[in-house]
Amino acid sequence: MANRGNVVHQSKSWSRLALLGLIGVFVASMTYAASSGRLSGTVRDPSGAVIPGASVVLRNVASGTTLRTTTDASGFYNISYILAGTYTLSVSSKGFKTYVRTGIVITPGAVEAADATLTVGTTVQTVQVKASAVNLIPTTSGSETRTIGANEIQNLSTVGRNAMELLTLLPGVVSGTGIPGVPGGFTPTTGSSFDQGVGSFNVNGLRNDQNMLRLDNADIIDPGSNGGFIIEPNMDMIQEFSVKQSSFEASQGQSGLIIEAVSKSGGSKIHGEGYWYVRNSIFNANDWSNNSAGLAKPNSKFNYPGFNIGGPVRIPGTDFNKNNDKMFFFAGVEWQRQLADPGTELAVVPTAMQRQGNFSELLNTKFCTTNSSHQVTGGRYLNQPCILKNPTTGAWGGEPALPGNIIPQSMIHKNGQVLVDTFPLPNFVDPQGNYNFAGRPIYPENRSEETIRVDYNLTQNTRAFVRLAHNQEHHFYPYGLWSGENSGWTSNIPEPSPTLGIDSGSSATLNVVSVVNPTLTNEVEFSASGLWLPNHYADPSKLSSNALGYNFSGFNWLEGSGGSAVSRTNALPQITDNYQYAPTSGEPAAGRWGEGDIYSGV
């Protein structure tokens, strides 16, 4: 479980964004938008001489969007802030045949190189280099970056709906769930939830809270948790993600692992799908613990219906986007109906007689140590000493036994009686004599996930996209807030009233890229992500100090884990401005101004 701690309600002021203008810093570094990539190269003739002034066009295969530039005096070209996807590169110059290279894949954060050699001829002649869509081998960056592409995301099996489960395909990545056969990103006793993020993985031997996750360059890590997420990287709503494990640029380094996910976008043609993923306990066998206790197998059910659609935006009755190359949309919705049965957890609770101070039931000759006269002399039963000692008359272990294992009424405090009575009564007879309570609460966890994205090519030199994402889930905590069986946070005994949480996370991103001139490209991005966790008891009266008659000065029963006053809000507004300047020779220079992550300091 994520280590959230005891956090009280904290309000965040979105107006803090204004402070970014005052605290912006300039970082001179070789950087670019982490959710996009860069392609550069040198154009030469057959003799190896450079060709200045050559026209370079990069075309997105799916949307038809084109990015243009020209080579400088040294024959060098650079195209920055390229959205992830598959592209075709065309290079032309007067007196030479047009060079065309297909199948160029740009991944998030990629720094790729593609040189071109033009042969003598006319521009109407074409030399085409055909290739399947494969990633280029980086030659201009020393970072160890691996990509999980759309093909892997769509075709590889996962347990849940979190694409981060595929991280275990990479070397150096170990699942941190601690459950054999269960990958990080999904827990079968709860299902998909906000706390099943990249904190479920250890990378290169680092702690699991040293990972960073971005969606379209916006941080979506829950800052109050060890790696939970604000938006789940859904298998059918992200296009791909890249993983930087080492040697990445200093401007990108804020953690030991950086994951850059890119949301899906529409193309020049309409595409869509509907689906329903089902996992049902009828296909499972019972586990050994239930068989040992003579109990039925867990009755877990996971249903994930959803749909998505994307394509060009058209306005009826107008010529807007008539060529399907100006504006595109993508929308995806998924409903997650999860009924996770964690199985049976055994515990010990006070019996009806013990609540009155009568522990004579512990004098059980079947499980306790006895003498030749069959009198109990020691041992344990129900994980308790068979013989109770009087703790008020001497050092522990040397005091005399309580006659008949009965606590005198004068030694029972009213507040202690109230606490004992909040426990459930025994419901299980253990053949081994260790437990008397079998807990098996069902965990309904219903989620909904929505993503909408619109890409707009305003002009040949300016493009923008807006992405909105929202997740919501209904949490049910029988054992206490952010707790579960054997979690270490609580006992294996359900609380008098379960804690309910109708939690939600939202993220919005606006990204604008403008080619100011052939040597200067600028990108500005505004993003904001927030997580709301308004937790409360389903029936606060069952734990009300007044209703229970609990009277202890300075203690409010409902304050603390699961109380009606306990909630949490985290907000992460960001503003980033990147530019890349390509001088007359050599590699381009780059910088970043005014990036910030502002939240409450949780």
Domain ranges of the chain: 31-141, 145-344+442-593, 345-439
DSSP 8-state secondary structure symbol assigned to residue 20: H
| Mean of pLDDT over the chain | 78
Q: Please state the rounded mean pLDDT for residues 270-287.
A: 88
Residue 489 and residue 483 in contact, taking contact as beta carbons nearer than 8 Å: yes
Four-residue CA torsion sign, 251, 509, 463, 163? positive
Q: Which residue has the higher pLDDT, 21 or 292?
A: 292
Taking alpha carbons only, the member of 239, 150, 147 closest to residue 467 is 239
The pLDDT value recorded for residue 25 is 31
Residue/partner pairs of 380-383 with CB below 8 Å, 24 or more apart:
381/433, 382/348, 382/430, 382/433, 382/434, 382/435, 382/436, 383/348, 383/434, 383/435
DSSP 8-state secondary structure symbol assigned to residue 585: S
pLDDT of 28 above 60: no
Residue/partner pairs of 362-371 with CB below 8 Å, 24 or more apart:
362/386, 362/387, 362/388, 362/405, 363/387, 363/405, 364/433, 366/433, 367/433
Residue-wise pLDDT for 370-401, tens only, equals 998 889 999 999 999 999 888 777 555 556 78
Residue 165 and residue 187 in contact, taking contact as beta carbons nearer than 8 Å: no
Taking alpha carbons only, the member of 563, 494, 510 closest to residue 535 is 563
Residue 520 and residue 526 in contact, taking contact as beta carbons nearer than 8 Å: no
pLDDT of 124 above 90: no
| Nearest-angstrom CA–CA distance, 190 and 336 | 12
Q: Please state the rounded mean pLDDT for residues 201-217.
A: 80
| Nearest-angstrom CA–CA distance, 199 and 207 | 9
CATH number for the segment(s) 31-141 = 2.60.40.10
The pLDDT value recorded for residue 205 is 78
Name the β-bridge partners of 512.
464, 524
Residue 256 and residue 243 in contact, taking contact as beta carbons nearer than 8 Å: no
The pLDDT value recorded for residue 5 is 34
Q: Which residue has the higher pLDDT, 527 or 578?
A: 527
DSSP 8-state secondary structure symbol assigned to residue 23: H
| Nearest-angstrom CA–CA distance, 295 and 276 | 31
Q: Please state the rounded mean pLDDT for residues 405-417.
A: 89
Token pair, residue 299, equals 């009755």
The confidence band for 250, taking pLDDT boundaries of 50, 70 and 90, is low
pLDDT of 58 above 90: yes
Q: Tell me if residue 418 falls in helix, strand or coil.
A: helix
Task: Return the minimum-mean-pLDDT range out of 137-146, 154-163, 219-228.
Answer: 137-146
pTM: 0.75
The pLDDT value recorded for residue 272 is 94
pLDDT of 537 above 80: yes
Could you give the dihedral angle defined by the CA atoms of residues 394, 396, 399 and 401, in that order, rounded to the nearest 10 degrees?
A: 140
| Nearest-angstrom CA–CA distance, 222 and 194 | 8
DSSP 8-state secondary structure symbol assigned to residue 248: -
Taking alpha carbons only, the member of 495, 492, 487 closest to residue 535 is 495
The pLDDT value recorded for residue 288 is 78
Residue-wise pLDDT for 175-195, tens only, equals 765 555 556 667 776 777 776
pLDDT of 310 above 90: yes
SS (HEC) of 65-100: CEEEEECCCCCEEEEEEEECEEEEEEEECCCECEEE
Q: Give residue 116's Cα distance to chain centre.
A: 41
- Report how far apart, in Å, the C-alpha atoms of 210 and of each of 156, 206, 228, 255 are: 26, 7, 12, 5
Name the β-bridge partners of 233.
none
In the chain, the amino acid numbered 35 is: S
Residue 39 CB contacts under 8 Å (≥ 6 apart), including other chains: 58, 78, 79, 82, 87, 89, 104, 106, 112, 113, 114
Residue 445 CB contacts under 8 Å (≥ 6 apart), including other chains: 190, 191, 192, 193, 336, 338, 339, 340, 473, 474, 475, 476
